[in-house]
A and B are shown apart, each in its own frame.
Chain A
Amino acid sequence: MTEYEFKTLNPMRFMEIVQEREKCFAEASGGLEGNKWQSNELAKLLHPGDRNMVVSKVIEHSRDCRSFILTMEDQTQKPAFFSAGQYVCVRLDINGNILSRPYSISSSPKESLAGYYRISVKKYNQGLATEYIYNNWKEGSIVKVSEPMGFFTYEPLRDSKNIIGVAGGMGITPLLSMAKAICEGTQRHKLTILYGCSGEHAAVFKDELEEICSRTSDVQVRYVYGNITVDDIVNARCSFCDAEDVSVFVCGPGGLYQYIESQSEQILDKLNIEEYKKHKYIRFESFAESRKTCGEMPEYVNFTVKIRDKVMNFKARTDVTILRSLEENAVPALSGCRGGQCGYCRSKLLSGDVYIPEKTDGRRLADSKYSYLHPCCSFPITDIELEVPSIK
């Protein structure tokens, strides 16, 4: 009888346990001890959310490129530490329209410890946000800035120690931060940057890059005036002639992204990377906004937007992303990457139809099942009814 001995155990012991429990409670402190965990402290310091920063310096690189040095409005606080390659979103209130735009941090992580971020902004013709920034951001302006976000970072357990950085225009910004991090010794790998721009006059970070190269042999820069080609990338491989493998980090406008995508077979072949490792070794950050490529459509549709207990109605264009329409109609919608990947803008489609380009569809499986979408890369096809999360 297996259970014989078991049955001799005292079932009344439970009563003692109950008493012991009361004793434990009685003997415990009745004070509010507060939270002493470093984990919670780190979570707050690394992810402080949106905060006010001061434009403490404006640097004019060229007619259409400026950098802004941002420091904390509240001097007792520090900008959150970040990984080179990450971006912040600047939140702009333009006559009641709440716009958010991502900008890669072009200063180094170490510089954030000294109290500032630098972002570098190119002006677009008829760009709603950049126009505003150029007209309004002066020394002393207070601006709302998100915590650092994004995954376009060097990961030692994943990436090769030899990186070819392919930068198209302003795509230089995250790679510049990485170059600085290498120079300062906080990131340990080699980096050869292909800096693609329209001409020498547009290579506004040239001096800064030359300065870095003079200090460390781990960073090299090659300037490409005009479009970057497969050959440029293959030639850059020579900087690491005895290296076993290389990672390629691509950052820039949509055209560059498409070019690299379309030539990826050749690139892999010439860099000696096996086809199945394509996604491991070629990594992208696209600065371009999602574009619509589907057929005939009415020009305008009706939007009904629920945000908490508020309902808003307006007409919106079908050729821009839903997020853009929300922003232009004063809906305080959340966003991060604006490329379908981060999920910050995730909203529920209550009725209507949308078009979502496959390339930027970064939704989770169950989101598709339950009609959630990312407004930053979805386009309305019919009238739509949408529920969006609120900015805290």
Chain B
Amino acid sequence: MTKKYDVIVIGAGNAGLAAAATAAATGMKTLLIEKNVYPGGCATSFRRGRFEFETALHELANVGTEENPGTIRKIFSDFGIDVNWHIDDTAFRVITADYDVTMPAGVEKFCCEMEKNVPGSYDSVRAVFRLGKKANEAFKYLSSGKPDPNVMMTKHRDFMIMASHSVDTCLNALNMPQRAQNILNTYWSYIGAPSDRLDFLFYVIILDRYINLGPAMPIMRSHEITSAFEDSVRRNGGEIWYGTKVEEIIMKDGKALGVKIGEKEIYGSKIIANCHPGCSFGSLIREDHIPERALKIHNARKNGAQFFTMYIGLCKDAASLGINDYTLILYDSPLSVKQYEGCRGLDTSFIMVNCLNCAFKSASPEGTSMLYFTSVFTEDILKDVTTEGYKDFKNHVAEAMIKRYEEKAGISITPYIEEIVTSSPATFARYINTPGGTPYGYEVSLWDSMIARILNSKNERLFGNLWFVGAHGERTDGYNSAISNGIDAAKSAIKEIKQDRETIA
């Protein structure tokens, strides 16, 4: 044995960083290994010319203000992490064939704006937020330790209803007018599952987090969050090795013992893997070390959505181009179920367009602005693309996105493009090495909802000393989820380490 760590974390994505920060802060001898030369995985930024582009974040939920902090702000302050936030007061603008509405943040404002757009909707929308509050309370109870099924059924009955039924079923039961449902469901694409297949519980939790405290973004892009996490790992004595690829997780009798880097073996009591199981089985973990059930769970799940993103630097400022919204979502169909179907094809998927300069002007140099486009696909959009045809294909997708944006938003940007970079699913696959390059782990569904995953997490951990964390984990995709998932795993690892030490003592 060359060296022994308490906790080895493979991958410095949001979940890996949070896990390493948790372990290091608890005094565990921690090693964080990352194949790229920077932290964050897909949550980062990159420079091109005069611009620094955000690669992934649309907005973070649950940050809140210093006076009224949300969970994320509290977690970060526990880690001594200092991030400069912008909290926006607009939730989103959404344009569909049927409507063009801009919704404010803040529950009361949101409900009133909905009433203006859909008369008679106020009560039902208000009820959703009431349920959201209950959901978050019950969720805390659930996360706090061993939940008692009796308490769940009696005290948290509404919670159980929400966990049992789809968004559609619940909103219909609340007698919400269809148009209000459609507007309320706008965030479905953040989760990647349509409203007939998504449990109401998860949706309500997400919705409440976004609307209640307002959407937040770090001033220095995601790289500020991940750098701050990294700094916290270092301050607490953790080591970080960049440019280092783990080639194998050393396993014996169903338990992880360490990792291999080239010829070198590094041992650790507990391993937390931020890499996707689908890209680890058969490579990082040899086939004979994988329990059949782990493969069954992986195979039963649908892969998360694929992303096409585009980053544009414009040589004119946002206001003079007529760009006024931080978040603009262009859905063809207002119905999530229909729009989800459309995500199979290039011309029928939706487009999300973010302009950071609308949140804070100084995001790029005076007289310039940045746009960040996202389109999501549920089928292998690159399946017939060759290496020679790849760049033309990317340009074709990019051009189509720009054209649709220009038409639907009535804004001309083409003459002002100073920098343009397109990321395809292959780009994501390159940086984060997930199946199909998905940043969304496994698709959420009623049977495989966040709550079902959390309640089964103990008996679905099938490797000793080893935890898989990230968008593919119990809490599903998103920054908030990945961070919490990493913290959960680290806490569980620390607990085991302490138990092991007591046994030895």
Residue ranges of A at the interface with B (Cβ–Cβ < 8 Å): 2-3, 5-14, 17-18, 20-21, 24-35, 37-40, 42-43, 45-47, 80-81, 83, 109, 113, 151, 155-158, 186, 276-277, 279-280, 308-309, 334, 341, 343-344, 346, 362-367, 369-370, 372, 389-392
Bound CA–CA A37/B427 (angstroms): 13
Determine the distance from Cα of A14 to Cα of B395 in the docked complex, in whole angstroms: 46
Question: B residues engaging A (CB < 8 A)?
Answer: 3, 35, 37-38, 45-50, 52, 123-124, 126-127, 130-131, 153, 157-158, 160-161, 163-165, 169-170, 173-175, 219-221, 223-224, 226-228, 230-231, 239, 241-245, 278-279, 281-282, 287, 290, 292-293, 295-297, 299-300, 306, 315-316, 367, 380, 382-385, 387-388, 390-391, 395, 398-399, 402, 414, 416-420, 424-430, 433, 435-437, 446-449, 451-452, 455-456
Say yes or no: A42-B385 contact (C-beta < 8 A), given A29-B296, A280-B315, A390-B244.
yes
**Contact: A21 with B452, CB < 8 Å?**
yes
Query: In the docked arrangement, what's the CA distance between A14 and B300, Å?
Result: 19
B295 pairs with A389, CB closer than 8 A: no
A40 touching B47 by the CB < 8 A rule?
A: no
Instruction: Contact check, A10 vs B161: say whether CB atoms are below 8 A apart.
Output: yes
Closest 10 CB pairs of A and B: A389-B243, A28-B300, A11-B160, A13-B164, A389-B242, A39-B425, A43-B430, A42-B426, A43-B429, A365-B220
The 8 Å CB contact of B175, one of A2, A158, A279, is: A2
In angstroms, Cα B219 to Cα A175, docked, is 38
Please give, as numbers and ranges, the residues of chain A lying within 8 Å of B429 by CB-CB distance: 37, 39-40, 42-43
Are the CB atoms of A38 and B299 closer together than 8 Å? no
Contact B315 A392 (CB under 8 A): no
Give min CB distance, A36 to chain B, whole Å: 8
Q: With A2-B127, A24-B300, A276-B367 as given contacts, are A39 and B221 in contact (CB-CB < 8 Å)?
A: no
Q: How far is A241 from B367 in the complex, measured between Cα atoms in Å?
A: 30
* CB of B319, distance to nearest CB on chain A (Å): 14
Chain B residues with CB below 8 A from A362, complex form: 47
The answer to whether B174 touches A32 (Cβ under 8 A) is: no
Please give, as numbers and ranges, the residues of chain A lying within 8 Å of B46 by CB-CB distance: 343, 364
Q: A10-B161, A24-B300 are in contact. Are A40 and B436 (CB under 8 A)?
A: yes
How many angstroms from the CA of A43 to the CA of B395 in the assembled complex?
17
A277 to B124, CA, bound (A): 51
Q: Is the CB of B223 within 8 A of A365?
A: yes
Q: Is the CB of B296 within 8 A of A81?
A: no
A9's partner among B165, B418, B425 (CB-CB below 8 A) is B165
Give the residues in chain A near B126, CB-CB below 8 Å: 2
| Most chain B C-beta atoms within 10 Å of own C-beta, residue among A27, A81, A341 | A81
Interface pairs (13), CB distance under 8 Å? A2-B124, A6-B158, A6-B161, A6-B173, A11-B161, A17-B164, A32-B295, A37-B382, A40-B436, A42-B429, A276-B316, A346-B38, A367-B227
Evaluate contact between A157 and B296: CB separation under 8 angstroms.
no
CB within 8 Å for A366 and B160 given contacts A46-B390, A157-B398: no
Contact B220 A366 (CB under 8 A): yes
Most chain B beta-carbon neighbours within 10 Å: one of A6, A8, A40, A370: A6
Contacts of A39 in B (CB 8 A): 306, 380, 382, 424-426, 428-429, 436-437
CB pair B127–A37 under 8 Å, yes or no, is no
Instruction: Report whether B380 and A6 are in contact in the complex, using a CB–CB cutoff of 8 Å.
Output: no
A77 to chain B, nearest CB (A): 12
- In Å, the complex CA distance between A8 and B172 comes to 12
Residue from the set B244, B417, B426 with the largest chain A CB neighbour count within 10 Å: B426
Cβ contact within 8 Å between B428 and A9: no
Q: Determine whether the beta carbon of A364 is less than 8 Å from that of B223.
A: yes
Residues of B within 8 A of A40 (CB): 279, 426, 429, 433, 435-437
* Contact among A32, A276, A279, A343 for B47, CB-based, below 8 A: A343
CB of A3, distance to nearest CB on chain B (Å)? 5
Given contacts A40-B436, A157-B417, contact A28 B299 (CB under 8 A): yes
- Whether A276 contacts B315 by the Cβ 8 Å rule is yes
Do the beta carbons of B452 and A17 come within 8 Å of each other?
A: yes
CB pair B299–A35 under 8 Å, yes or no, is no
Give bound CA distance, A366 to B300, whole Å.
Answer: 40
Q: In whole Å, how far is A266's beta carbon from the nearest beta carbon of chain B?
A: 19
Cβ A158 vs Cβ B420 within 8 A: yes
Give min CB distance, B344 to chain A, whole Å.
15
**A contact residues around B426 at 8 Å (CB):** 38-40, 42-43, 46
Q: From A2, A34, A38, A276, give the contact of B174 (CB < 8 A).
A: A2
